[in-house]
Amino acid sequence: MKRLNPSIKYHLLIGILLSIWLFIFAFLIRPFDDGTISFKVWVLISTGFSVIAFLCYGLLAVIQKRIYDQLSKWNIGFEITSLIFFHLCFSVSTYCFYKSPVLDGGYTFFNFVRIITFKLALISTPILVLARIYVVTLIPAEDDTIIMRGENKLDVLKIKKSDLICVSNSQNYVEIFFIDGDQLKTKLIRSTLKKIQMDFDFLIQVHRSHLINPSHFKAWKDQDTISLTQIEIPVSKNYKQHLLSL
């Protein structure tokens, strides 16, 4: 999976569902039942396993969000590492619970992992993968549409943000350059460059008369001119350094 829904809320819901499933599995299957464990103890064991699963997955939700916030990316390597981290955390934590005075289990850690948590991992991993894929689909779709309005009621331009190339000052108007299909088009609206920049802060000023959408920057034609998509714009000295730093 190459995307991640960083929402801790959604992942805590996964943790709750996982803990409920583990409670049912542990209580019904009773993976290390030797016939001497009472009903009350199995309720305790199943509850312990489910709570530990929720806490381990909750810890994973917090850690992966911090990583995603810092790197702003996710890939299959991160996804596999996340699942391995959860299973390791769950195995160590449940073994500590198993060896605690509450249960005083007799398995070594290796046997505990081989007989119990490895089987749980084989069953729970597909469920986790499907649940994590599902929460990715819950990420709100980004609306790329912007509406540029002028002082007159008819001064309205609705375009995709990615289609906007630049905005240039034209006396009491601004001229908007944008792509429609493969064609370069323009529209005049009664407004000021300053207002446009305030309304659309992703635009960068490169000249007192020009704002550009940096995603359309192609190359420097010379020291004072840049090439954008199907258009060239002058760059003044006051803004040149800022543009070079991007």
What CATH number does the domain containing 159 carry?
2.40.50.1020
pLDDT of residue 83: 95
Verify that 49 and 122 share a domain, yes or no: yes
Verify that 200 and 155 share a domain, yes or no: yes
Verify that 72 and 121 share a domain, yes or no: yes
pLDDT of residue 32: 61
pLDDT of residue 141: 66
Q: Show the tokens assigned to 172.
A: 């009491």
Which domain does 158 fall in, by range? 145-244
The CA distance from 159 to 145, in Å, is 6
Q: Which of 136, 165, 199 is the last residue of a domain?
A: 136
Residues 234 and 207 sit within 8 Å (Cβ to Cβ):
yes
Verify that 91 and 169 share a domain, yes or no: no
Backbone angles phi, psi at 188, to 5 degrees: -95, 130
Taking alpha carbons only, the member of 246, 180, 171, 190 closest to residue 213 is 246
pTM more than 0.85? no
Q: Which of 114, 136, 158 is the last residue of a domain?
A: 136
| Total domain count, the chain | 2
Q: Show the tokens assigned to 123.
A: 């069953």
- One pLDDT digit (tens) per residue for the chain, 246 residues: 678 988 999 999 999 999 999 888 877 877 666 566 677 878 888 899 999 999 999 999 999 999 988 887 899 999 999 999 999 999 999 999 989 988 888 889 999 898 888 888 988 999 999 999 999 988 876 668 899 999 988 899 999 999 999 999 998 899 999 999 889 999 999 999 999 999 998 999 999 999 999 999 999 999 999 999 999 999 999 898 888 877
pLDDT of residue 29: 73
Verify that 156 and 227 share a domain, yes or no: yes
Q: Which of 79, 108, 136 is the last residue of a domain?
A: 136
